[in-house]
């Protein structure tokens, strides 16, 4: 097997043509200059130790050195080797509440956008961990399977909105139950579910679902969004508030953050409950806790890759260049002493 790692460096081979042309012009200039001072025989008598052959040899050696260095840059790869890549990390699933109450603006710009920002900033801090996304309201639906592609995760995250689920409400238990399908390794203990919600749980069973999740090795972090004072739910058309959500009696609905249920869910799994008003504090708290967790190896793959051969060419190139530096233009005495042509 054979391939070139950086074939664009082959363009540097044009340097060899320039060097050859330059050397030819140099020889022509030397010949014309010497002819002005006398014949070749006279110059030989004046400089008997000067070798006419070694000058050409030095240039050939220099060409070989430069050629080897150029091919080292191209980096030919020959042969194959198996490389085992092992990764350690946490499987982190984000469950984002997309019910209408998340449109409340008691936390800027609104609860849902704040949740997106918290998830995005957390992903930016991850390294080697896998992430997944769940959207839930009265029911929960998978948005992104577990993956290490953080850019794709951010794209799916930005697509979350309060119109994606027709059934309204907040069913935390549904999100917890669905998250169990995201963890595909039975022996894996580093499982984390992050629930981002205002805590207005309209269904029962969140505490029981959290206890069951804890028995399966899932740690739940909850992030409470909003304020206990609460706010109205704006209904907008083309970005402009046209009215506010009302109940069956025609009264304007006030939605309030309920951190008690979120605290209970987190406590049942030994996790964290965080107030989501300060982005940096929340992200740091999550990432610091992830660092403390035992990160089990969850993926080990073998890859076949070509072996680099540039080091051999680099060595050859440097050898020829050093040889050229120490190769003198004088005749070699021991060769001269052989007197191969029986000169008197």
CA angle 207, 208, 214 (to 5 degrees): 90
The ranges of the chain with pLDDT < 70 are 1-2, 34, 37-54, 79-87, 184-189, 201-203, 294-306, 328-344
C-alpha torsion 104→240→136→91, nearest 10:
-90
- What is the reported pLDDT for 334? 46
Give pTM, 2 decimals: 0.62
What residue segments make up the domains of the chain, in order of their start? 2-81+305-338, 90-295
pLDDT tens track for 180-237:
888 866 556 588 999 999 988 666 788 999 999 999 889 999 999 999 898 998 887 7
Measured between alpha carbons, how far is 62 from 16 in angstroms, rounded to an integer?
A: 10
Choose which CATH entry (3.40.50.720, 3.40.30.10, 3.40.50.150, 3.40.50.410) describes domain 90-295.
3.40.50.410
- What is the reported pLDDT for 54? 67
What average pLDDT does the chain have? 82
> How far, in Å, are 34, 227, 254, 302 from residue 196 at the CA level?
88, 14, 19, 37
């Amino acid at each position: 097997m054979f391939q070139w790692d950086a074939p664009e460096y082959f363009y540097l081979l044009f340097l060899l043509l320039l060097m050859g042309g330059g050397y030819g012009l140099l020889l022509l200039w030397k010949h014309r200059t010497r002819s002005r001072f006398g014949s070749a025989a006279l110059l030989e008598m004046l400089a008997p130790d000067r070798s006419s052959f070694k000058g050409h040899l030095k240039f050939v050696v220099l060409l070989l050195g430069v050629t080897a260095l150029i091919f080292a840059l191209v980096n030919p790869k020959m042969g194959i080797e198996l490389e085992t890549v092992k990764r350690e990390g946490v499987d982190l699933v984000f469950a984002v509440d997309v019910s209408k109450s998340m449109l409340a603006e008691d936390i800027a710009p609104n609860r849902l956008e704040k949740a997106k920002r918290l998830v995005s900033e957390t992903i930016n801090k991850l390294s080697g961990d896998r992430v997944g996304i769940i959207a839930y309201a009265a029911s929960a639906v998978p948005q992104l399977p577990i993956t290490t592609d953080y850019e794709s995760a951010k794209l799916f995250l930005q697509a979350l909105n309060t119109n994606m689920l027709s059934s309204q409400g907040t069913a935390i238990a549904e999100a917890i139950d669905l998250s169990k399908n995201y963890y595909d390794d039975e022996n894996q203990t580093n499982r984390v579910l992050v629930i981002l919600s205002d805590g207005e749980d309209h269904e029962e069973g969140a505490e029981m679902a959290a206890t069951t999740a804890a028995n399966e090795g899932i740690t739940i972090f909850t992030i409470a969004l909003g304020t206990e004072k609460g706010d109205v739910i704006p209904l907008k058309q083309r970005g402009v508030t046209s009215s506010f959500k009302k109940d069956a009696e025609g009264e304007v609905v006030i939605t309030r953050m309920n951190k008690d249920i979120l605290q209970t869910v987190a406590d049942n799994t030994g996790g964290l409950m965080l107030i989501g008003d300060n982005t940096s504090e929340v992200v740091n708290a999550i990432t610091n806790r992830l660092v403390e967790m035992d990160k089990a190896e969850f993926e080990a793959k073998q890859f076949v890759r070509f072996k680099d051969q540039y080091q051999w060419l680099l060595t050859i190139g440097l050898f020829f260049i050093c040889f050229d530096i120490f190769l003198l233009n004088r005749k070699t005495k021991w060769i001269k002493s052989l007197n191969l042509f029986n000169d008197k």
